[in-house]
Amino acid sequence: MTNLAAARKALKTIFGFDDFRPGQEEIVEAILSGAPVLAVMPTGSGKSLCYQLPALLDDGLTLVVSPLIALMRDQVGQLRELGVAAATLNSLTGEDEATQIWRDIRGGALKLLYVSPERLALDGLTEALSRISVSRIAVDEAHCICEWGHDFRPEYRLIRNSVEKIGPAPIVAFTATADDAMRAEIAERLFDRPPQIFVHSFDRPNISLAFAAKDQPRKQLQRFLSSRRGKSGIVYCASRAGTERLADFFAEQGFETVVYHAGLDQARRNANQDRFLREDGVIAFATVAFGMGVNKPDVRFVVHADMPSSIESYYQEIGRAGRDGLPAEAFTLYGLEDMALRRRQIDEKDLAEERRRFEHQRFSALAALCEAAACRRQILLAHFNEDAPPCGSCDVCRGEIHTRDGTLEAQKALAAVYRTGQRFGLNYLSDLLIGADSDALRRNGHDALKTFGVGADRGKQDWASTFRQLFAAGALRAASAEHGGFALTEKGEAILRGRETFLLRADPPREKGSGRTQRQPSRAGEGAGENRIFEALREVRRDIAKEQGLAAYMVFADRTLLEMAEQRPATLDELRGVHGVGERKIALYGEVFLEAIARACG
């Protein structure tokens, strides 16, 4: 049997998958051949399986370098449920457990060992590993090695030195986000020879994208979450205090909530993360500290209650939704204050000018995505140099966002900035344009300007939207870090003088009542009968997971339960045909779930 044929057999018998996902087979084949590999694959596309599967076919140990204890624990737990010998050495590993792990390593019983880059850098560990047979070293989240990346970890720079001490073993590295420059840096710093590089589509077509300008943001968030009760999700906030406030508010509204941020003590962080991972229907209100350790496949939505820091961070964070391939949603709230804050943070950082320009470019790409008038997915993928047709599922493609030629309004707004000396902010300028009765305007003599009242045909909220869009498009900049206000950029000058036109988005009218912020995707073919069986199977899964101290998805993922509900297998052989049901799961849970299906159908 060839290596690839053996891999296919293990794919079915151990993992329960009939075939590879797109991009996996060629990577697995290259790894089995002993080649060094750098693979860029979107979150949820099955990166881990690309090194886990070859590990099962080797006689030696596969060493996995991973950035977070929670992520290592989660992956080890899933592998053990599949009957795979895997372990992790980290700061929480007890002495007795560590002794058993080393006994298994020396006896050749252990297939995968997960360690952090900090742990790998310890001379004692590298020396011990140098005395055994290490087949390969897999580096997860390899973009952490890039200084200009959004998740830079200095400890990743030490990996190559540690690998050289361990001895000759090919390196295979994986990441979800790496442009040309980042790939070159990873290849240079991690590998001793040029790796085979695989770059697969960044597209996550199962995630629908939507954005909304902040307008009573707590109510906007409440409308979104109210129609998604009972589903697992993440709400990202810019501040620790914001996570606490929103979690408390929605807990009072009857939602199951947890908080996660760096200000919590480690025990509470671990407890909250474990609850989110193990239970169904929990919403995590978190800062970006809640990130790479999230390996939960059934996260149905990711919300940004505040604007993300960059388009790369946004892509990474929304990638935590829909890892099981089922429909999921990404919803982002943003405001002018968010944009001004992000730009001010970049300006105030101690950065070289080249790096500062790079950071502003990254943020501008995100601002343009927020205010997009074309398909969101097209714009997002274009940032990663990937062409795509209109997705048909984002809020723009669904016809929820409308645009028109807004050059005249833009010129009025820019003229207000210019004629008042390029130092005033949103409220002041909006009052000027609508001709408000304002002491401040009279005191400065601005009620006598030609621009006073030229925008009286529009409301103050409309002008606020126009200024926000001009700022996002780079036609305006912050006049002063200390006092705020707007000033014109070269682009703004060009629009004001008629050398450029400006497309203006029309913000949707404010929703009332409990209407949803965006249309919710549904599962294909879902009927009342299937839903009843699915819920019955979820209950059985929940009971098993609770009894065994497992995350529910470690028993079976939602996708597997959905296929059971659709196909209604009556025998173990029929159950084997369901996605994600391997021989180990058949032995552990086959009869229990067949009985549950029979009861639900009866």
Alpha-carbon distances of 424 from 231, 432, 473, rounded to whole Å? 44, 11, 19
pLDDT of 518 = 44
Residue 586 and residue 532 in one domain:
yes
Please indicate, yes or no, if residue 428 is contained in any of the structural domains.
yes
Mean pLDDT by 10 residues, the chain (602 residues): 86 94 93 95 87 92 89 89 94 89 92 94 88 92 82 88 89 88 91 93 92 93 95 95 96 96 89 88 91 79 94 89 93 89 84 83 85 87 87 91 90 96 92 94 94 94 88 82 78 95 73 42 54 92 91 91 94 94 95 95 80
Query: Which structure tokens are listed for 140?
Result: 């997860």
Residues 218 and 248 in one domain: yes
Residue 522 pLDDT: 46
Cα torsion angle, 290, 326, 142, 64, sign: positive
User: 223 with 150, same domain?
Assistant: no
| pLDDT attached to residue 25 | 95
Q: Give the single-character DSSP code of 371.
A: T
pTM > 0.85: yes or no: no
Q: By the 8 A CB rule, do 258 and 285 touch?
A: yes
CA pair distance 30, 153, nearest whole angstrom? 27
Q: Using an 8 Å Cβ cutoff, are 210 and 516 in contact?
A: no
Place of tokens 């009765």: 437
pLDDT for 279: 87
| Cα–Cα distance measured from residue 474 to residue 376, given in angstroms and rounded to the nearest whole number | 19
Decide if 523 is inside a domain: no
Residue 519 lies in a domain: no
Domain stops at, among 401, 422, 437:
401
Predicted local distance difference test score (pLDDT) of residue 515: 37
> Residue 319: exposed, middle, or buried by beta-carbon count in 10 A (0-12, 13-18, 19+)?
buried
Residue type at 201 in one-letter notation: S
Calculate the dihedral angle through the C-alpha atoms of 376, 242, 233, 556, rounding to the nearest 10 degrees: 140
Task: Looking at the structure, tell me whether residues 435 and 553 fall in a common domain.
Answer: no
Euclidean distance between CA atoms 398 and 382, whole angstroms: 20
Query: Which of 348, 368, 401 is at the close of a domain?
Result: 401
Pairing type for strands 486-488 and 476-478 reads antiparallel
Into how many domains does the chain fold?
A: 4
Examine the domain organization and report whether 464 and 486 are in the same domain.
yes
**Residue 305 has what pLDDT?**
97
Q: Is residue 542 part of a domain?
A: yes
Domain around 333: 207-401
Alpha carbons 272 and 369: distance in angstroms, whole number: 32
Give Cα 281 distance to the centre of its chain: 18
The CATH number that applies at residue 384 is 3.40.50.300
Q: How far apart are CA 149 and CA 312, in angstroms?
A: 9
- Are residue 125 and residue 238 in the same domain, yes or no? no
Q: Which residue type is seen at 370?
A: C
User: What end-to-end distance do the CA atoms of the chain give, in Å?
Assistant: 44
HEC assignment per residue over 440-470: HHHHCCHHHCCCCCCCCCCCHHHHHHHHHHH
233 with 320, same domain: the answer is yes
Task: Map 475-515 to HEC letters.
Answer: CEEECCCCCCCEEECHHHHHHHCCCCCCEEEECCCCCCCCC
What is the torsion angle, in degrees rounded to the nearest 10, for the CA atoms of residue 521, residue 526, residue 531 and residue 533?
-140
Q: Give the containing element (helix H, strand E) for 53.
A: helix 47-57
185 lies in the same domain as 226: no
